[in-house]
Amino acid sequence: MAEADEERQVCDVAVTLAFSVLGKRWNGMIVSSLGGGPSTFVALRRAVGGISDTVLSDRLAELADAGLVARTVDAGPPITVSYALTPSGEGLLPILDQLGRWASANLAERAH
């Protein structure tokens, strides 16, 4: 019984850590949008919709600090900056897909 409690505590800490990154508004949408491949800032802003430049910039920096997104600068000309998922970020895609399926099945009525 103590072993099960210890495993639950470890899991709770891990879930808390995951939601400290993914629980912020827009982060899941940004990761999901990057699931289609690398993207520029402007394309991400369009894909996510409703997010300000400042918030998108902040969220991309947070996701990069968490090791989920990589920023690449191509010196050009013209200089272009793109964002892509790291292998850790790509590992979230099946989880986000499953979460979306769960939401469709269980929260569909709340969306209307």
In tens, the pLDDT along 36-79 reads 999 999 999 999 989 999 999 999 999 999 999 999 998 878 88
Output the CA torsion 84→88→94→98 (10° steps): -110
* 96-108 confidence digits (pLDDT tens): 999 999 999 998 7
Beta bridge partners of 81: 73
Does pLDDT of 112 surpass 80?
A: no
Measuring CA to CA, which residue among 69, 65, 67, 66 is closest to residue 30? 69
What pLDDT score does 61 carry?
Answer: 96
Task: Tell me how far apart the alpha carbons of residues 53 and 35 are, in angstroms, rounded to a whole number.
Answer: 20
Residue with tokens 């800032």: 41
The answer to pTM > 0.75 is: yes
**Under DSSP, is residue 7 helix (H, G, I), strand (E, B) or coil?**
helix
